[in-house]
Amino acid sequence: MTAALVERLRRPGPLITVELRPPRRGLSAAEGMDSWIDLNHSIRHLTLKDTFVFLTDDAVGLREEENLGHLAANVGSDVPLSRLVPFLTCKHTIEHCLIYADRAQSLGFEALTVVGGDVSTGPPRCVPHSYMLRQRIRERQPGLSLGGWANPHRDVRKQVEYIGSDDFTAEFYLTQVVSHHSAGRVESFLEECDRRGVSTPGIFGIFYYWSAQPKTLGRLGEFFPVPAEELTREFAAGASPGEVLGRTLEALRAAGAEKVYISNLGHRRVQDRLDKALARASM
C-alpha cells in the first residue's frame, strides 16, 4: 500500500505541508499541558483541511517530548493519521528506533521520516548514516513509507547521487531549509536530478522568519544557512513575514520545486497564520 503522502507527492502541482515541533522536555506540568493543547488544536485544524504535518524529533539538538506517543494518545480519533508524518532521528539507541518504527506501523501511521540528526550536539547517532537505520526499519516494517534527507546547499552532484542510490531506502525526501536567496541551488539540484534520472519526490524546506532579529538569525545560522543580510534588508524595507514567505514560494516554484514544508509557524493558531501568510503570498 502506498502512503497518502507519497501518492500526493507523485501528482503534478504544488503541495504545501507544515513541520511542527513538540514541546521541549523539562516544562512544568502546566506549561507542558498548555503547549500540547495548543499543538493539538493546530494539528487537528491542519489535518482536517487535508494538510500533511511533520512532527520533529529533538529538532536542532533540543530535547523534545516524544512525538509518536503523544500523537497516538491525544490528537483524537477524527484526525487522519495518514496526514501525520513523524520524524525519527538516529539520536537514540538502535533498540528504541526499531521499536519506534514497530509502534508507528501498529498504530496506523503510513509514513516515517528517518534522518541522521545534528552530530554537533546531543547524544551520538546509533548508526553513522540515516540510510542504515532506514534499511533496518525496512526489514522489519516493509509497509511503512520512509523519508530521507538531502541538502541542496552541499555538493549537488554528491547529494543527488546519494538520493539516487539503491541504498537510500526511501520513497521521498525532505531538504534542508532554502529560500528565494538560494533558489539557484535548488534549480541546480533539480537539474542534476533530471540529468541522473532520479525521480524520488522531494519536499523543500522553508523557514517562516518572524523578523530579522540579529541574535535569532545568528542562532539559526548554527543549524542551516541563513541569508541574514538579505533578510535584514527585506524586513527593514517593510516586508512582512508573509511577504518574505511568498517570495520564497514564488522563487522555488520558478526553480521547479512545487512541494514544500513550512517550519517555525509556532504552536498556536498555526492554521490561521498559514492561511494569512499564503493569502499575502497570493497562493
Cα dihedral 183→185→189→190 (10° resolution): 20
Which tens digits make up the pLDDT trace of 49-99? 999 999 988 654 455 567 787 777 777 778 889 999 999 999 999 999 999
Ranges under pLDDT 70 in the chain: 1, 23-35, 58-65, 280-283
CB 18 within 8 A of CB 57: no
Query: Cell 521520516, residue?
Result: 113
Predicted confidence at residue 121, as pLDDT, reads 77
Kindly state the cell numbers that stand for 205.
524546506
Fold of domain 13-280: TIM Barrel (3.20.20)
CB 86 within 8 A of CB 56: no
Tell me the pTM.
0.92
CB 56 within 8 A of CB 64: yes
**Separation of first and last alpha carbons in the chain:** 32
